[in-house]
């Protein structure tokens, strides 16, 4: 006979470890709470991150259906749901831990106030006062005092984080750090929930999220409403009998989008880091910037982004993590997705090629490379009239002039024509010679500007005219113009 003895976990210890379930940061912790609000059919979510005397407090208020007292107590219970249970199709939750572990990953005291059908309930967990699983219960008066006045007027839920020790290293956070933290959280949320914010097809009613009273604008990582974005057809696939879909997009070349768009698309890590798959679970972005090792680095252009839309019924197969920040590509899908990626290789190349430099001298542009064709002989040479080249060839120092001339001849004599020809016939999409990254392009422009300005005898006006007809800047005059204007080198 097996004997049994009760052996529950120690409350303080378990809740302290719950702080590290998942790998939350401020935006992903907030996102987990927003998932709950969305599940509760909220149309409006207000996030307030305040800093008083250096101490941060966070409040998230929604106008969802709220909870009864019993529901609230159930919801406050750690592991309030079994991850193995089937979830409603619109449920963004999974482990029954989100509200607790996401909140406590950022703060030591979590309070939840809620109103359902006009009736209030409130409860709190305080890591510093949790012996024997004692949960704080708030009386009606306390709720009235503490709650956002809006919660007293309509149903909904308000989550309050106090003692935010993870937001502040030593209990206090400096204004600058705090503002950076908030700016990051804001843009992450605008991306994570962009489909909800835009009220897209198939996604329930449009959602408004305000962050410190400013409404979040959706950040569409595919820039779908830009005329130069190429949307590929949606592919409908199945995994264990459950449908999901994949759609690829080729973003416009950087010369065709505004700096603001470029900034938003590149995020903090830049364009390249953000290429790859964008995995959505119930229309909520859970991860991006990965190729799941399906693509070798640089194999596909940085302009390709692929949306993968999965329902929550496939959570287990995709191995969604507690903090919903990660998923693993199911092995049954690798080959199918690889095929999709392969079919894109040829096409993404074209966006680049059409941007490539022309060898022939066209519409008055001064090219870097020129060629002559004579009695059946073709030879490519560096255009001696390109201003940067011309200036060096006339350098005041004879030795510089000579060395530069020698180097130019060397580059021309050893022009890898055969290798280029081969690459171009076998894998044109991989030809990647021109500066594709906007930042690199501008950096190189900046490096060239002093010489170019000297070439124009210091005249900004002449410089601008020169840039318009000189490769590679002439092909990107909008971008160059904007850049010069920012530097104060060109008038509006």
Ligand X SMILES: Nc1ncnc2c1ncn2[C@@H]1O[C@H](COP(=O)(O)OP(=O)(O)O)[C@@H](O)[C@H]1O
Binding site for ligand X (CB under 6 A): 36-37, 40, 62, 64, 66-67, 75, 80-81, 93-100, 157
Which one of Mg ion, ligand X, none interacts with residue 151, CB within 5 to 8 A by kind? Answer: none
Rounded least distance, CB 26 to Mg ion, Å = 17
Structure tokens at 462: 């002449």
List of residues 6+ apart from 194 with CB closer than 8 A: 218, 219, 220, 221, 285
Q: Is the peptide bond before 472 cis (omega within 30 degrees of 0)?
A: yes
Closer residue to ligand X (CB): 88 or 373: 88
Q: Which of 311, 339, 321 is nearest to 240 (CA)?
A: 311
Rounded least distance, CB 461 to ligand X, Å = 60
Which one of ligand X, Mg ion, none interacts with residue 80, CB within 5 to 8 A by kind? Answer: ligand X
Closer residue to ligand X (CB): 93 or 252: 93
Closer residue to ligand X (CB): 14 or 237: 14
First-last CA distance in the chain: 89
Q: Which of 71, 68, 69 is nearest to 81 (CA)?
A: 71
Closer residue to ligand X (CB): 147 or 300: 147
Rounded least distance, CB 320 to ligand X, Å = 11
Which one of Mg ion, ligand X, none interacts with residue 311, CB within 5 to 8 A by kind? Answer: none
Which residues in 76-223 belong to E strands, given as ranges?
109-116, 119-126, 136-137, 156-162, 208-211, 214-215
Which one of Mg ion, ligand X, none interacts with residue 124, CB within 5 to 8 A by kind? Answer: none
Instruction: Provide the β-strand partners of residue 208.
Output: 44
Closer residue to ligand X (CB): 87 or 345: 87
Rounded least distance, CB 217 to ligand X, Å = 23
Rounded least distance, CB 76 to ligand X, Å = 8
CB 247 within 8 A of CB 232: yes
Closer residue to ligand X (CB): 62 or 126: 62
> What is the torsional sign of CA 454, 459, 464, 466?
negative
Residue bearing tokens 């252009």: 301
Closer residue to ligand X (CB): 70 or 413: 70
CB 354 within 8 A of CB 428: no
Rounded least distance, CB 21 to Mg ion, Å = 12
Which one of Mg ion, ligand X, none interacts with residue 40, CB within 5 to 8 A by kind? Answer: ligand X
Rounded least distance, CB 69 to ligand X, Å = 13
Which one of Mg ion, ligand X, none interacts with residue 157, CB within 5 to 8 A by kind? Answer: ligand X
DSSP 261-286: HHHHHHTTT-TGGG-EEEEEETTEEE
Which one of ligand X, Mg ion, none interacts with residue 95, CB within 5 to 8 A by kind? Answer: ligand X
Q: CA 453, CA 451: separation in Å to the nearest integer?
A: 5
Q: CA 254, CA 257: separation in Å to the nearest integer?
A: 6
CA 360 vs CA 103, 356, 363, 371: distances in Å: 62, 12, 10, 7
Rounded least distance, CB 179 to ligand X, Å = 27
Rounded least distance, CB 130 to ligand X, Å = 17
Which one of ligand X, Mg ion, none interacts with residue 291, CB within 5 to 8 A by kind? Answer: none
Closer residue to ligand X (CB): 81 or 389: 81
Q: Looking at beta carbons, which residue is closest to ligand X?
A: 93
Closer residue to Mg ion (CB): 157 or 274: 157
List of residues 6+ apart from 20 with CB closer than 8 A: 105
Closer residue to ligand X (CB): 57 or 80: 80
- The percent of the chain in helix, strand and coil, each rounded to the nearest 5, is 40, 20, 40
Closer residue to ligand X (CB): 301 or 312: 312
Structure tokens at 331: 């092995």
Which one of ligand X, Mg ion, none interacts with residue 100, CB within 5 to 8 A by kind? Answer: ligand X
Q: CA 122, CA 141: separation in Å to the nearest integer?
A: 11
Closer residue to ligand X (CB): 76 or 190: 76
Question: How many CB atoms sit inside 10 A of residue 21's CB?
Answer: 19
Please compute Rg for the chain using Cα positions.
29
Rounded least distance, CB 472 to ligand X, Å = 52
Q: HSE on the CB side for 475, CA within 13 Å?
A: 20
Longest Cα–Cα distance of the chain, Å, equals 102
Query: Which residues in this chain contact Mg ion in the complex, by CB under 5 A?
Result: 36, 93, 98
Which one of Mg ion, ligand X, none interacts with residue 218, CB within 5 to 8 A by kind? Answer: none
Which one of ligand X, Mg ion, none interacts with residue 161, CB within 5 to 8 A by kind? Answer: none
Rounded least distance, CB 489 to ligand X, Å = 52
Q: CA 128, CA 165: separation in Å to the nearest integer?
A: 12
CB 80 within 8 A of CB 98: no
Rounded least distance, CB 40 to ligand X, Å = 3
Which one of Mg ion, ligand X, none interacts with residue 105, CB within 5 to 8 A by kind? Answer: none
Q: CA 444, CA 442: separation in Å to the nearest integer?
A: 5
């Amino acid at each position: 006979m097996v004997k049994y003895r009760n052996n529950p976990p120690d409350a303080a210890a378990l809740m302290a470890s719950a702080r590290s379930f998942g790998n939350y940061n401020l935006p992903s912790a907030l996102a987990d709470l927003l998932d709950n609000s969305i599940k509760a059919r909220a149309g409006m979510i207000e996030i307030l991150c305040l800093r008083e005397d250096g101490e941060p407090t966070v409040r998230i208020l929604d106008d969802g259906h709220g909870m009864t007292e019993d529901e609230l107590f159930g919801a406050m219970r750690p592991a309030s749901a079994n991850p193995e249970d089937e979830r409603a199709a619109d449920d963004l939750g999974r482990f029954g831990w989100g509200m607790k572990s996401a909140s406590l990953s950022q703060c030591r005291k979590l309070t939840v106030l809620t109103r359902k059908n006009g009736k209030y309930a409130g409860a709190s967990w305080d890591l510093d006062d949790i012996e024997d699983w004692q949960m704080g219960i708030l009386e009606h008066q306390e709720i009235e005092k503490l709650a956002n006045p809006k919660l007293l007027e309509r149903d909904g839920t308000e989550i309050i984080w106090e003692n935010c020790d993870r937001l502040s290293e030593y209990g206090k956070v400096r204004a600058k750090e705090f503002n950076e933290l908030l700016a990051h959280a804001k843009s992450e949320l605008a991306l994570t929930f962009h489909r909800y914010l835009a009220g897209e097809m198939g996604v329930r009613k449009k959602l408004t999220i305000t962050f410190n009273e400013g409404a979040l604008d959706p950040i569409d990582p595919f820039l779908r409403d830009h005329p130069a974005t190429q949307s590929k057809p949606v592919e409908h696939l199945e995994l264990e009998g459950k449908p999901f879909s994949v759609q690829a997009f080729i973003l416009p070349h950087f010369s065709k989008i505004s700096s603001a768009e470029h900034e938003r698309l590149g995020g903090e890590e830049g364009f390249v880091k953000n290429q790859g798959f964008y995995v959505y679970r119930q229309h909520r972005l859970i991860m991006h910037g990965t190729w799941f090792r399906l693509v070798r680095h640089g194999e596909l252009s940085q302009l390709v982004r692929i949306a993968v839309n999965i329902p929550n019924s496939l959570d287990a197969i995709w191995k969604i993590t507690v903090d919903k920040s990660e998923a693993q590509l199911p092995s049954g899908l690798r080959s199918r997705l690889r095929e999709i990626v392969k079919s894109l290789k040829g096409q993404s190349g074209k966006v680049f090629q059409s941007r490539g430099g022309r060898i022939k001298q066209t519409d008055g542009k001064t090219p870097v490379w020129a060629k002559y064709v004579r009695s059946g002989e073709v030879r490519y040479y560096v255009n001696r009239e390109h201003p940067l080249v011309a200036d060096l060839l006339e350098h005041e120092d004879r030795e510089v002039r000579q060395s530069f001339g020698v180097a130019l001849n060397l580059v021309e004599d050893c022009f890898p024509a055969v290798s280029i020809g081969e690459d171009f016939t076998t894998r044109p999409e991989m030809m990647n010679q021109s500066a594709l990254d906007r930042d690199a392009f501008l950096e190189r422009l900046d490096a060239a500007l002093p010489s170019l300005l000297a070439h124009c005898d210091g005249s900004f006006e002449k410089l601008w005219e020169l840039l318009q007809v000189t490769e590679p800047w002439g092909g990107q005059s909008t971008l160059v113009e904007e850049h010069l204007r920012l530097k104060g080198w060109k008038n509006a």
